[in-house]
Structure 1
Amino acid sequence: MSEAGDSAAARSRCDRGFTLFEVLVIIAILSLIAGIAFPEVEKVMRRQTFIAAATRFEVALHAARARALQRGTAVRFTVSADHRSYGYSGAFEPLPEAVLAESPDGSIAFFGDGTSDGGRISLVDTRWERRWVVRRTTGAIERVR
């Protein structure tokens, strides 16, 4: 009978939960892990935001060229003066925070015959950059970097 009484007493001590010291140690370990992991997650999210913006930017370049070919008239792809948005035919799309569009001439014209006035255009972030070249004679859009 004493064995049953001892195991019941041991069970009641185990059922009480964690001590304050154990909880504090767990919180300290979780804080350390969070301090290491969260900056990496933020970096990955920022990189993904840049890649998505660059993809939309390139699609808009191709769409401007396609519209010029389809309509047989000139279409101008423009970067805003503050470098925070871009677009063509009056429709502008904003860029995410910290991403800037750069174009030496501010715009690139695509003509109805498939040619363009050519130029270079890029998107930059504090860590990443993506560049395109638009060929004069063919209007082809080539990603350089």
Structure 2
Amino acid sequence: MHVDGDVRRVARIVEVEAYLGPHDLAAHSSKGLTPRTRVMFGPPGHAYVYLIYGMHWCVNVVTQEEGHASAVLLRALEPVRNVTLRTQGPGLLTKAMGIDGRLNGHDLLSRDLHIVDPGPEKISIVRRPRIGVDYAGHWAKRLLRFYIRGNAYVSRP
């Protein structure tokens, strides 16, 4: 993931959570189309950025075709270049990367904020339940959190 600004920041995505659309009770889209969720219902490859607890920004990648409202929350990053703050957790990573509400709806193929494929690498992915979604009934137990086994930057192993 690259974020441009005064300094080009580069980090590797090491932990994510999937939110599978309006039927997923942990997804914001389960409440339907609202001004807040409009980006999630849009085309894939755009950033869905929102404020939680009135103080922390979170960034998601819209993943499904327009109208489906699925997204992947970025939970943790491994700093690669010009990232000096902690990145273990959604609020910390947005702060470290300079991501805020101004990037909501941003095209992730743009030059200033984008995600690139690092190429082939041998990693082991761990699947676990998502964090902080106990209110979502059986959706809270689904194995929709993914992280790189043994990576020191994962928010909670």
TM-score (norm 1): 0.24
Name the structure where strand makes up a greater proportion of residues. 2
Query: Which structure is higher in RCO with an 8 Å CA cutoff and minimum separation 6?
Result: 2
TM-score (norm 2): 0.23
